[in-house]
Amino acid sequence: MTVSFDLGGKTAIVTGANTGLGQAIAVALAGAGADVALVGRSSMAETEEAIASAGGGRTLTIKADLSTIAPVQDVIDQTLAWSGRADILVNNAGIIRRADAVDFSEADWDAVMDVNLKTVFFLSQAFARHLLAGKQWGKIINIASLLSFQGGIRIPSYTASKSGLAGLTRLLACEWAGKGINVNAIAPGYFETNNTEALRNDDDRNAAILARIPAGHWGRPEEIGGAAVFLASPASDYVHGVVMPVDGGWLAR
Ligand code: NAD
């Protein structure tokens, strides 16, 4: 029996695909053969170009502000109207707000929890309802964080949301594993994206973070793609409910 990482004939939905890790994941899934619906608030032109110049995959851009759950059904419907199928959902869109816990505002709490956790749940629900109705195979990949395992500092709603996302990944895996849907998560370490710009611009924090990464460098977005292809492909069919670190060895330290 050969192990298959082939996504030919499959359709993936990637949220927050215009930049950073979402863009890299969309490019990797397209490289493995998937058509990709690129979901988010911003122009997807850069991602469309990257996929086209790598020579593969049809793309559809779906405009959606995921700070509320209003667009979730539309994301699934537009994908189905475009390709007739939806096999893979990558819940990547996420935000972070920084302040000391004693000063943290309700607005910053709610904004982060809404995008990082609430919308992820209801988009996964809409996706799974479609799959379950058609008794169809499917894969959900949540983008968690090291803050799914650790406490962090000055990011209370981010840590709560990503720790919650690890639990949600396990719960959904337990409910849907027997029905042909794999639910797993990737926990990226410290990657060079907008999300970590403030940390990289702080010389002390930058040096402290680098000193703890056994691989010796910040993650480059393209270093996340292999894990996403694995969790999206038949190669991971018996993998359910894991939160897989892709962190240059950070958690092993
Ligand atoms: P990023 O800020 O470059 O990307 C975040 C993406 O989410 C963007 O595409 C943005 O448009 C989208 N987004 C945010 N709010 C949205 C909304 N309301 N509606 C639609 N889209 C929205 O950062 P990134 O590092 O690429 O982050 C991607 C994911 O990876 C996030 O969930 C983040 O928490 C997670 N993550 C990143 C790191 C890292 O080191 N960069 C580490 C761990 C986890």
* pLDDT tens-digit map of 41-65: 999 999 999 999 998 789 999 999 9
Mean pLDDT for 17-44 is 98
Predicted confidence (pLDDT) per residue in 110-140, tens digit:
999 999 999 999 999 999 999 999 999 999 9
Report the nearest-CA residue for atom 42 of ligand 1: 188
* Residue 169 predicted with pLDDT over 80: yes
Mean pLDDT for 69-88 is 98
pLDDT at residue number 2: 86
* Residue 12 predicted with pLDDT over 90: yes
How far away, in angstroms, is 52 Cα from ligand 1 center?
22
Mean pLDDT for 91-102 is 97
Mean pLDDT for 69-94 is 98
pLDDT at residue number 116: 98
Determine the Cα–Cα distance for residues 231 and 233; give it in Å rounded to an integer.
Answer: 6
How far away, in angstroms, is 115 Cα from ligand 1 center?
10
Nearest to 185 by CA among 209, 168, 197, 205: 168
pLDDT at residue number 55: 86
Report the nearest-CA residue for atom 13 of ligand 1: 93
Report the nearest-CA residue for atom 41 of ligand 1: 191
Q: What atom in ligand 1 is closest to the CA of residue 218?
A: 40
Predicted confidence (pLDDT) per residue in 183-200, tens digit:
999 999 999 999 899 999
**Residues at CB less than 6 angstroms from ligand 1:** 16, 18-22, 40-42, 65-67, 92-95, 115, 143, 145, 188, 190-191, 193-196
- What are the start-end ranges of the H helices in 87-202? 106-113, 119-133, 156-176, 197-200
How far away, in angstroms, is 19 Cα from ligand 1 center?
8
Nearest to 247 by CA among 146, 167, 155, 153: 146
Residues in the chain: 253
Helix (H, G, I), strand (E, B) or coil at 233: coil
19, 21, 61, best to mutate for ligand 1 pocket (most atoms within 8 Å of CB): 21
Q: What atom in ligand 1 is closest to the CA of residue 158?
A: 34
Q: Identify whether the C-beta of residue 72 lies closer than 8 Å to the C-beta of residue 119.
A: yes
Radius of gyration of the chain (CA): 17
Query: Structural domains in the chain?
Result: 11-239 (3.40.50.720)
- In whole numbers, what is the pLDDT of the chain averaged over residues? 97
Q: Tell me the pLDDT band of 68, cut-offs 50, 70 and 90.
A: very high
Q: What atom in ligand 1 is closest to the CA of residue 96?
A: 34
List, by residue number, the catalytic residues.
158
pLDDT at residue number 132: 97
pLDDT at residue number 127: 98
Report the nearest-CA residue for atom 43 of ligand 1: 145
How far away, in angstroms, is 23 Cα from ligand 1 center?
10
Q: Give residues with Cβ within 8 angstroms of 49, minimum separation 6.
A: none
pLDDT at residue number 162: 98
Residue 111: burial class (beta carbons within 10 Å; 0-12, 13-18, 19+):
middle
- The percent of residues above 90 in pLDDT, for the chain, comes to 96
Determine the Cα–Cα distance for residues 243 and 145; give it in Å rounded to an integer.
Answer: 9
Report the nearest-CA residue for atom 8 of ligand 1: 16
Q: Identify whether the C-beta of residue 86 lies closer than 8 Å to the C-beta of residue 13.
A: yes
Question: Who has greater pLDDT, 56 or 75?
Answer: 75
pLDDT at residue number 195: 86
